[in-house]
Amino acid sequence: MAQPLPVSPLASPLPDLGTVPGVRLGAVAAGIRYKGRTDLVVAEFDAGTTVAGVFTQSKCPGAPVDWCRAALKGGVARALVVNAGNANVFTGRAGIATCEKTAEVEAHLAGCVPSEVFLASTGVIGEVLPAERITAALPALHAALTEDGWEAAARGIMTTDTFPKAAVRKTEIGGVPVTIQGIAKGSGMIAPDMATMLSFVATDAKLPSAVLQSLLSKGVVTSFNAITVDSDTSTSDMVLLFATGRADNPAVASADDTALSAFRAALDSLLLELALMVVRDGEGASKQIRINVTGAVSDTSARTVARAIADSPLVKTAVAGEDANWGRVVMAVGKCGEPADRDLLTVAIGGVTIAREGTVVEGYDETPVVAHMKGREIEIDVDLGLGEGHATMWSCDLTHGYIDINGSYRS
Amino acid sequence: MAQPLPVSPLASPLPDLGTVPGVRLGAVAAGIRYKGRTDLVVAEFDAGTTVAGVFTQSKCPGAPVDWCRAALKGGVARALVVNAGNANVFTGRAGIATCEKTAEVEAHLAGCVPSEVFLASTGVIGEVLPAERITAALPALHAALTEDGWEAAARGIMTTDTFPKAAVRKTEIGGVPVTIQGIAKGSGMIAPDMATMLSFVATDAKLPSAVLQSLLSKGVVTSFNAITVDSDTSTSDMVLLFATGRADNPAVASADDTALSAFRAALDSLLLELALMVVRDGEGASKQIRINVTGAVSDTSARTVARAIADSPLVKTAVAGEDANWGRVVMAVGKCGEPADRDLLTVAIGGVTIAREGTVVEGYDETPVVAHMKGREIEIDVDLGLGEGHATMWSCDLTHGYIDINGSYRS
């Protein structure tokens, strides 16, 4: 962008970031696309680090997604290389070659094999990502990695993000203290299913990769897979979770082990915090929207209904206009094809029931709802009155800012 | 709206409208919502008029949609009453009562039974539509109906439309000249499937209702069901086709009768013309987009891919910004879940192939594509390279105008 974007009114401050023993990281300006800012991030992990990942469901994924899917089969990671500004998507053989060259150079520096190097790219689609700009910058970046590099990493992976995103949790496994710390980037082209942006989370817990994968796969369902900014699923999205094992907690063989209860809750809450930061930095967003659907015939059905509301341009523009236009919520429920009975439907906004059993409630007073709509966090509750299925989805409003940003992204 | 919207830059002039023997129509200002404009339209048909209809697939349809679905079972029509400004949706028992009262009064005037009266409403959702404003206006309107009332009807059904929409065809059945003439309204909340707005078409052809229904159901597939403005399916949409039989053409027993070839082609072309007018009046639209998908595993699959591109906010904002951002087209292909192979994909814009076999074509010169993007009619062609399935979908760009209109609709 020619002009830096104004910071989202929903931005949250960067938390106090600590270190994760076994992780060293940093960022540098490699001149891939942007001028005067960092755009290349490296993290290196101690030997023995396990890894889990979830990826975009796009049928046209970027070369780095293919690379990581293959690398993940080994279950171990020693390094991560991320660039911003160019997604290395739809770049054919050149894109694959860039992955291979990048992994080879980084593997040499980190003292591992290329398949232990994970790669991620974010930015414009369809332009060749020059490997040499990355590989030329890697040696100096490798030499400068530190355990304190988390903020630099959070800033270095940003594209149209207006604030850096990070979260941290302190928890325990079997009485042994462990840390979980993660960063994320994402602002547009955000939709389930899948990971919906880039996020990298590390812990010093000692966990087998299969356990890690189970925890991550479950954790994204109610976090990164429950957010949408614009219904457009990226070609590049991933969440990677690294466990260095430095905490030396008691061995855990299954994700269902009760020793993991606190860890699982902490991880889930961290993933949700990061995912909500992405919504709150949704391109042009001025309000966060939480959609709660209950009474559906199943959780899957509730999810589809919630997503139809969350993705509806008419609902999102109504929220932008601070208009409690519940009729558009009814429209979105009706359009998505899931079982719904107009005459059993209840709609509430800001905790105030507006419509019940197919019509507006008698004596409906819009005053408190109008006040709610002026706030930053809008709550829409829909009960379908059919069963026990429920789901929650988060979205943001659709404003002139979205048009400004996306009508001129490449220029 | 407080201020009248500027007329769409894609507007087409109203054609020279003639009459359809057996149809008398007119419009009046009933004060339902708007001030200083007509908002109530009535058409009456000669005895013996047959009717066909297609309706929104919404699970939360308006009371008039329920009414028309039931009325359609009789296959005959004597009157149509349409109001603009209030959709009579999610209005519970009051909404049903309004339909009953309106049909009763109109049936009395037209000399028929209520089930031969068709009803349509368009406008805001969730507010009770006062039957008395309609029924009070009906007698004077009935008295003033004329065969020349088509333009008045086209104007009287507008909501956020910026220009009236009508089309006419002269054709023949078995050598007997027949006319087909129709009007439409629609601008936002437009998406397949279903009829996606209001359109009323009449012909003086003599055709059984079953034949009429077959012709209409097939005709909407490539017209009203192939357009999208904002992916939001309305609760109120319908297309009704009336045949007065005044032309006295030879009897036709099947929609596949070769005697109907010219009529079918004329009807299909009229439906497409009306549907494209809706796209060209898409809220805030500055450019029409035609998406052509070929090489899919089936026509259904091609349709889903075409719709994913047509609905993508990122594709639509790129077109608004005159940016030939084909990477977003790839993203949209990838996100929709249909079979697609990144490395077989071909993307062309404005007839210029930009990407082939998973990457940009060698020596791609953006100059002619940049010129194409400055035009009013944007053409995107995608070949999936997998099979013989193909589909065409029409959309429009996503601009600041859409936000302006929909962030303040109710105010």
Interval A356-372: pLDDT, tens: 988 889 899 999 999 99
pLDDT at A188: 65
pLDDT at A196: 44
Pick the last residue of a domain from A250, A280, A310: A280
Start-end of H helices in A201-260: 209-221
| Shared-domain flag, residues A142 and A174 | yes
pLDDT at B190: 54
A261 is in an annotated binding site: no
**In the predicted model, is pLDDT for residue A204 greater than 90?**
yes
Residue B148 lies in a domain: yes
The SS3 of residue B333 is helix
CB of B280 closer than 8 Å to CB of B399: no
Nearest Cα neighbor of B83 from B151, B28, B44 is B28
Q: For A321, which residue in chain B has the nearest alpha carbon?
A: B407
Residue B17 lies in a domain: no
| Shared-domain flag, residues B337 and B206 | no
Report cis status (omega within 30 of 0) of the bond before A193.
yes
Residue B3 lies in a domain: no
Report cis status (omega within 30 of 0) of the bond before A341.
no
The answer to whether B403 contacts A399, with C-beta atoms less than 8 Å apart, is yes
- Mean pLDDT score, A135-148: 97
Give the C-alpha distances (Å, rounded to integers) separating A34 from A4, A29, A86, A156, A218. 11, 8, 10, 11, 35
The answer to whether A330 contacts B124, with C-beta atoms less than 8 Å apart, is no
The answer to whether A403 contacts B400, with C-beta atoms less than 8 Å apart, is yes
Residue B7 lies in a domain: no
Tell me if chain A has a CB within 8 Å of the CB of B358.
yes
**Who's near B360: CB < 8 A, 6+ residues apart?**
A90, A91, A126, A127, A128, B354
Q: Quote the CA–CA distance of B101 and B107 in Å, as a whole number.
A: 10
B87 chain-A contacts, CB cut-off 8 A: 327
**In the predicted model, is pLDDT for residue A191 greater than 70?**
no
Nearest Cα neighbor of B120 from B53, B174, B73 is B53
pLDDT at B279: 85
pLDDT at B1: 40
pLDDT at B193: 35
Name the residue facing A357 among B92, B126, B400 (closest C-beta): B92
Instruction: Pick A58 or B307 by higher pLDDT.
Output: B307
Residues of chain A numbered 50-69 and touching chain B (CB < 8 Å): 57-61
Residue B1 lies in a domain: no
pLDDT at A309: 95
Comparing A71-80, A246-255, A321-330, B257-266, which segment has the lowest mean pLDDT? Answer: A321-330
| Shared-domain flag, residues A349 and A272 | no
Comparing A5-14, A137-146, B26-35, which segment has the lowest mean pLDDT? Answer: A5-14
Query: H or E element: which one contains B313?
Result: helix B313-320
The answer to whether B402 contacts A317, with C-beta atoms less than 8 Å apart, is yes
**In the predicted model, is pLDDT for residue A226 greater than 90?**
no
| Shared-domain flag, residues B172 and B310 | no
**Residue type for A183, please?**
I
| Shared-domain flag, residues B132 and B84 | yes
Name the residue facing B125 among A94, A317, A331 (closest C-beta): A331
Pick the last residue of a domain from B239, B254, B280: B280
Work out the pLDDT band at A233, boundaries 50, 70, 90.
low
Pick the last residue of a domain from B234, B263, B280: B280
A411 chain-B contacts, CB cut-off 8 A: 321, 323
Comparing A4-8, A210-214, B331-335, which segment has the lowest mean pLDDT? Answer: A4-8
| Residues of each annotated binding site of B for substrate | 159, 185, 196, 283, 406, 411
CB of A62 closer than 8 Å to CB of A95: yes
| Shared-domain flag, residues A118 and A241 | yes
**Who's near A175: CB < 8 A, 6+ residues apart?**
none
ipTM: 0.77
Residue of B162, B171, B179, B196 marked catalytic: B196
**In the predicted model, is pLDDT for residue A297 greater than 90?**
yes
Tell me if chain B has a CB within 8 Å of the CB of A376.
no
Tell me if chain A has a CB within 8 Å of the CB of B374.
no
B234 chain-A contacts, CB cut-off 8 A: 331
Tell me if chain B has a CB within 8 Å of the CB of A403.
yes
Tell me if chain A has a CB within 8 Å of the CB of B385.
no
Residues of chain B numbered 92-121 and touching chain A (CB < 8 Å): 92-95
Interval A318-355: pLDDT, tens: 999 999 988 889 888 988 889 999 889 999 999 999 99
Residue A198 lies in a domain: yes
Q: What b-and-e string marks burial along B150-181, b requiring 16 or more CB atoms within 10 Å of the CB?
A: bbbbbbbbbbbbbbbbbbbbebebeeeebbbb
A411 is in an annotated binding site: yes
The answer to whether B95 contacts A406, with C-beta atoms less than 8 Å apart, is no
Residue A84 lies in a domain: yes
Work out the mean pLDDT of chain A and round it to a whole number: 90
| Shared-domain flag, residues A246 and A390 | no
**Beta-bridge partner residues of B199:** B184, B239
A197 chain-B contacts, CB cut-off 8 A: none
Q: For A192, which residue in chain B has the nearest alpha carbon?
A: B335
Tell me if chain B has a CB within 8 Å of the CB of A334.
yes
- Identify the CATH number of the domain in which residue B379 sits: 3.10.20.340
Tell me if chain A has a CB within 8 Å of the CB of B317.
yes
Name the residue facing B126 among A124, A189, A327 (closest C-beta): A327
Which is it for strands A117-124 and A79-86: parallel, antiparallel or unpaired?
parallel
| Shared-domain flag, residues A41 and A158 | yes
Nearest Cα neighbor of A240 from A81, A90, A131 is A81
Q: Quote the CA–CA distance of B159 and B184 in Å, as a whole number.
A: 11
Residues of chain B numbered 251-310 and touching chain A (CB < 8 Å): none
Name the residue facing B330 among A94, A125, A335 (closest C-beta): A125
| Shared-domain flag, residues A257 and A396 | no
**Who's near A362: CB < 8 A, 6+ residues apart?**
none
Residues of chain B numbered 205-244 and touching chain A (CB < 8 Å): 230-235
A406 is in an annotated binding site: yes
Give the C-alpha distances (Å, rounded to integers) separating A210 from A112, A207, A272, B332. 21, 8, 22, 32
pLDDT at A228: 74
The answer to whether A331 contacts B408, with C-beta atoms less than 8 Å apart, is no
CB pairs under 8 A between A and B: 227
pLDDT at A190: 54
Name the residue facing B327 among A90, A231, A320 (closest C-beta): A90
The answer to whether A406 contacts B338, with C-beta atoms less than 8 Å apart, is no
pLDDT at B172: 94
Residue A3 lies in a domain: no
A339 chain-B contacts, CB cut-off 8 A: 59
Q: Quote the CA–CA distance of A152 and A144 in Å, as a whole number.
A: 12
Number of other CB atoms surrounding residue A27 within 10 Å:
25
**Looking at the annotation, which residues of A are catalytic?**
196
Tell me if chain A has a CB within 8 Å of the CB of B400.
yes
| Shared-domain flag, residues B251 and B168 | yes
Low-confidence ranges of chain B (pLDDT < 50): 1-2, 191-196, 409-411
Residue A385 lies in domain? 288-406
Which structure tokens are listed for B335?
A: 């996100």
pLDDT at B126: 82
Nearest Cα neighbor of A197 from A280, A278, A311, A82 is A278
pLDDT at A1: 40
**Who's near A133: CB < 8 A, 6+ residues apart?**
A30, A31, A32
Tell me if chain B has a CB within 8 Å of the CB of A73.
no
- Domains in chain A, number: 2
Start-end of H helices in A222-356: 261-280, 299-311, 313-320, 326-335
CB of B159 closer than 8 Å to CB of B235: no
B304 chain-A contacts, CB cut-off 8 A: none
CB of A54 closer than 8 Å to CB of A187: no
- Identify the CATH number of the domain in which residue A153 sits: 3.60.70.12
| Shared-domain flag, residues B144 and B212 | yes
The answer to whether A410 contacts B314, with C-beta atoms less than 8 Å apart, is no
Number of other CB atoms surrounding residue A366 within 10 Å:
12
User: Torsions phi, psi of A320, nearest 5?
Assistant: -60, -40
| Shared-domain flag, residues B247 and B305 | no
Give the C-alpha distances (Å, rounded to integers) separating A118 from A38, A48, A54, A142, A147. 19, 15, 13, 15, 19
Query: H or E element: which one contains A51?
Result: strand A50-55
